[in-house]
Structure 1
Amino acid sequence: MLLPITLTFAAACALLNMWLAIRCARFRIRDKVLHGDAGHGLLAKRMRAHANFVEYTPIVLILFALVEMAAGASLWLWIGALVYVAARVAHAFGMDADKPTALRAGGALLTWGVMLAIAATALGLAYSATREFPAPPTMAAR
């Protein structure tokens, strides 16, 4: 089964992951930092933005794939994927600041919103398809 939304979304997330990694690697190469942040405040923030992306994205991608498999492609899934990617870019830029910013807060809130919406959708699909739980499989005696 082809999942055009999830495939596009996963590719966008892979590219975004590379961009976040390159933002850190540039510091590491320039200042010869092998481990940690070597006391560079901006590098620490960028590392955290990258780690935050890696913490949220796998479960969001899995949920998008499962929802797309269960319900098919739809405009709202496309919009949700686009909002998620835009939120993560905004969050990454917002993390560069020394104080709270609208980009960071907005990126985080939109990320949570998309995650909650896709989780609720997954639960709705799971429990609207079957009104009762299926019986567990039995093992035949041999």
Structure 2
Amino acid sequence: MVTPIYAALLTLMYSALSIRVITLRTTNKVSLGDGANVALSRAIRAHGNFIEYVPLALILLLLLEQQGNSAWVLHSLGTGLLMARLVHGLGISAIREQLKFRVTGTVLTQLILVSSAILLLVQHGS
């Protein structure tokens, strides 16, 4: 099985994003919201954006795996998702936003979601 590899790696990335938010909350003594702290605000959005997209992408990857897609297809999508979320997280988290990273991560994530969905639909119709 391929999907568990990416689920595990992405969970580690999610934990790192969570720890970053917790650390910034503790350091800045902010228990709720962002306390008008730019770094905390960006960390919260990086964390939130990750959890908004990754679960659906992993479900699609698992469904593709269950349909018998090749390991090459699954690893391509999984690696692409991992890279997309890493690049997006770096872009959105920076105080001086790295817009090219954020945009690249967003576009890659959408490409993976859409291509996975289309592949599922095409294979379902076959």
Q: What TM-score, normalized by structure 1, do the two folds share?
A: 0.83
Q: Matches of residues 1-142 of structure 1 in structure 2 within 5 Å? A: 4-95=1-92, 96-99=94-97, 101-128=99-126
List gaps (5 residues or longer) in structure 2.
none
Query: For the residues of structure 2 that align with 1:35 and 1:54, how far apart are their CA atoms?
Result: 18
Q: Percent identity?
A: 30
Unaligned runs of 5+ in 1: 129-142
What TM-score results when the alignment is normalised by the length of structure 2?
A: 0.93
Q: State the SS of the aligned residue for 1:71.
A: coil
Contact 2:61 2:77 in 1 (8 A): no
Q: What whole-Å deviation, never above 9, does each CA across 1:63-89 have from its counterpart, x for those lacking one?
A: 110110012442121011011111101
Moved over 3 A (4+): 97-100
Q: Which amino acid aligns with 1:40?
A: N
Question: Which amino acid in 2 is paired with 1:106?
Answer: T
- Amino acid of the residue matched to residue 53 of structure 1? F
- Report how many residues are paired: 125
Would you say the 8 A contact 1:5–1:73 is kept in 2? no
